[in-house]
Amino acid sequence: MSILVVKEQVEADASQSERSVCPPAATADHMQKQEQEWMQRISQGDAESLRELLSVHGNDMARLIGRLTAWHVDQEDILQQVMIVIWRKAGSFRGEASLRSWLRRVVINSCRNHFRMTARWKRKVLAWSQGRAQEYQDRALQVLEINESLQRGLSELSTEDRMLVVLYYLEQLPGDQVAMELGISQATLHARLHRVRVRLKSIISDD
C-alpha cells in the first residue's frame, strides 16, 4: 500500500471521526433552539407546537408525575393540568434554565396543587376514600419500575418527603438543585434526607 493511500485513509478516518463527534453537540444546540421556538409559538397559541413538545417530553413528565404521586392517581389527570400551565405560561420561559428543568418545576407545582385539592376533598368524603384505599394499593402493585417495598415506603411518606426522594434518588438531581426546586436550604435538605432514609428503612424492614 502506497504512502499516499495510507495518508488518504488516515485523513478519511479523521474526517469520519470529526463527523461522529460533532453531531451530538450540533443536535443538542438544534434541540435547544427547537424547544425555544416551541415555547414561543405555544405562547402565541400554536397547539401543534404543544403536541410536538409533548411528543418529546411527555413520557418523562408522566413518569415524574407517577413517582411523585406514588402511582396512586391517573397521571393523565395531572398531565392535563400541566399542559394547561404550559399553554398559559409558555411566554414566561426565557431559556435561562433548560426546558426540562422548567417543565419539572411545572410538574412539581401541579402535583402539589393536586395534593392540596385532594386533601380538601378527602376531608369531606373520608369514609368513601377509606373504602377505596385498597383499590389504590392494588394499582400501585402494578408498578414495575420501583420494587414493591420501596413503592410501599413512598406511598407512606408525606407529599414533601416523597418529592424529596423522587428528585434526589430517582431523578438523581444534585442536592443544590433539589433544594432549589423544593424551596428549602441545603441544610434542611440533608436533615430531611437523613430523616426520610430512617423512615424508609423502618417501613421496608417491616415488610
Give the Cα separation of 82 and 62 in Å (integer).
Answer: 10
pLDDT, one tens digit per residue, over 18-42 is 434 444 555 777 888 899 999 999 9
pLDDT, one tens digit per residue, over 41-68 is 999 999 899 999 999 999 999 999 988 8
pLDDT, one tens digit per residue, over 78-90 is 888 899 899 999 9
> Considering the entire predicted model, what is its pTM?
0.57
Measured CA to CA in angstroms, residue 193 lies from 172, 177, 205, 207 at distances of 13, 14, 18, 21
CA dihedral 112, 115, 116, 120 (to 10 degrees): 180
**CA nearest to 167, candidates 67, 74, 81, 75:** 67
- Greatest Cα-to-Cα distance within the chain, rounded to the nearest angstrom: 87
What is the domain class of 146-207 according to CATH? mainly alpha
Give me the CATH code for the 48-144 domain, please: 1.10.1740.10
Domain map (residue ranges) of the chain: 48-144, 146-207
